[in-house]
Chain A
Amino acid sequence: MTILDFNKLSLRDINKTLQGSDKNSFFSIRNPKGSHALAVGINKQITVKVVGSVGYYCAGMNKFSDIKVEGSAGPGLGENMMSGNIHVTGDVSQYAGASGHGGSILVEGNASSRCGISMKGVDIIVKGNVGHMSAFMAQKGNLVIFGNAGHALGDSIYEANIYVAGEVASLGADCIEKKMTKKHLSKLENILSNANVSDYNLDTFRRFGSARSLYNFNVDNAKIY
């Protein structure tokens, strides 16, 4: 394990070391003190443990690597990630996992607004609550919420799945509750076990997705033009 300490190294040096490291390396990052853009653009299988809270855009564009933050993360965690796993033990701020293509994000605390906005295949698991406009325009992937969801959940959603165990403040346009089928229960179980989450009761989850009524132009609107 290599220790990279913000008290001795600059953000640029730390990111360079991470991006240029060999496959299967293990790093422990100390004293991040809310730094922005930490551990971004990694594209190989390495393990990064961050001891402390981070700022904006941590682990953005992640590919293959496992990144754990022992603390909280600011806005834009794992933005546009392609694969790999991100695990945050505290809370995350706005738009976590925005436009993520793949891999998984596990948040043990709460996520604030716009969690999983425009997600394109990433799996996001939030053990606490999510804020308003979460999964806005979500296209693919799964958003699993153990707590409550804020207003306008899944507004203008495409083919992503949302699973909520708590209360939903309100659903956004074209987002509806859907039947929880056996197929979806086993999918949900897979998502959770892949993320090493074990303490759950599948029966408490409800499923939400697209009513698909915004997919096509409504001919009744033609007279407006």
Chain B
Amino acid sequence: MCGIVGLYAKKENISSNLGLHLSKMLESMSDRGPDSAGLAIFGKPIAKRAKIMVQSQSPEDDFQKLKKFLSTKKEISFSFETHSTHAVIKLDVKQKDKVINLINDTFPNLRILSVGKKMEIYKEVGRPAEVVKRFEIAKMKGSHGIGHTRMATESAVTTLGAHPFSTGEDQCLVHNGSLSNHNSLRRELMRKEMTFETENDSEVAASFITYRMNSGKTLKEALESALLELDGFYTFVVGTENGFGVLRDPIACKPAVLAETPDYVAFGSEYRALTSLPKIEKAKVWEPEPATVYFWGH
């Protein structure tokens, strides 16, 4: 199973309550997956600033040490916000790569979940209601966001096995389905220097799209090549800096519903996910076609 949601705000009344809407949408999909849940929220960027999201299993200890360590580097000016097991480090975009390397080299227990100017990824083991409460998602604002609740099939129930998976700066993917050729694809991508944190099939899909885009393809082209090379069942929702995209495999047995009003575009695995949205009864609601790339962007 698994449940996916997505919301793209066209108007301020939606973006100022984005986290609240997405929380309700994701909670309504709890029956589709109780194992772990996660969201990516695309907030307002600050000029020349970047965000690094880090996750720890023992946040109190690790984040204290990380903060202290970064403070000793006089040339780095940063802010540090903790949200339960996650922390957001905001810093000058020019210092981003240096800090990523410092974290990777010095703190092997910390995981970098995402990097970007807008995107923040929050994901944890547990039901959607627990996860959105833990990170206070309902208070967050943003132009768009995507979410996922997982019913684990082929790999372990862990924080890193939760979705969304980052596919590059300000980019992530959520997946409902199962891929059958993920092991061979993973080996192929590893030979091309891509790295993996889990045995998860969806991480392979995320890495596949990242690799294609790093090789100069557009998101649309990368998703179209996924149609040729990924074997299995999938409905993907991909979050990018500007909006979100949707792709279903040609068999399309994994459900998907889209809704559009003058205020928003919303995605749900089921219509139930959309019923809490304002004026949904007046929305244009339809099922996306198989093997067709959809995208909404600002």
Contact = CB atoms under 8 A, between A and B. Distances in A.
Interface of A: 33-35, 52-53, 55-56, 72, 74-75, 90-91, 93-94, 110, 112-113, 131-132
Contacts of B274: 34
Interface in B201-226: none
B21 to A, nearest CB: 15
Contacts of B289: 131
Contacts, number: 46
Contact of B253 (A35, A55, A94): A94
Contacts of A75: 255
Main secondary structure of the interface of A (DSSP, over half): loop
B227 interface: no
A93 B285 contact: no
Nearest to B250: A132
23 contacts: A34-B270, A34-B271, A34-B272, A34-B274, A35-B272, A52-B281, A53-B271, A53-B285, A55-B272, A56-B270, A72-B285, A90-B285, A91-B285, A91-B287, A93-B257, A93-B287, A110-B286, A112-B252, A112-B287, A113-B251, A113-B252, A113-B253, A132-B250
B271 A74 contact: yes
Contact of A91 (B275, B286, B290): B286
A72 B270 CA distance: 12
Given A53-B285, A72-B285, A132-B290, A94 B255 contact: yes
Main secondary structure of the interface of B (DSSP, over half): loop
Interface residues of B, number: 18
Contacts of B257: 93
Interface of B: 250-253, 255, 257, 270-275, 281, 285-287, 289-290
Counting from the closest, the 5 A-B pairs by CB-CB distance are: A34-B271, A34-B272, A33-B275, A112-B287, A53-B271
B169 to A, nearest CB: 35
Contact of A93 (B255, B272, B273): B255
A33 B273 CA distance: 9
Contacts of A94: 252-253, 255
A215 B50 CA distance: 65
Given A112-B287, A132-B290, A74 B255 contact: yes
B270 A55 contact: yes
Nearest to A31: B275
A56 B31 CA distance: 13
Contact of B272 (A33, A91, A112): A33
Nearest to A90: B285
Contacts of A74: 255, 270-271
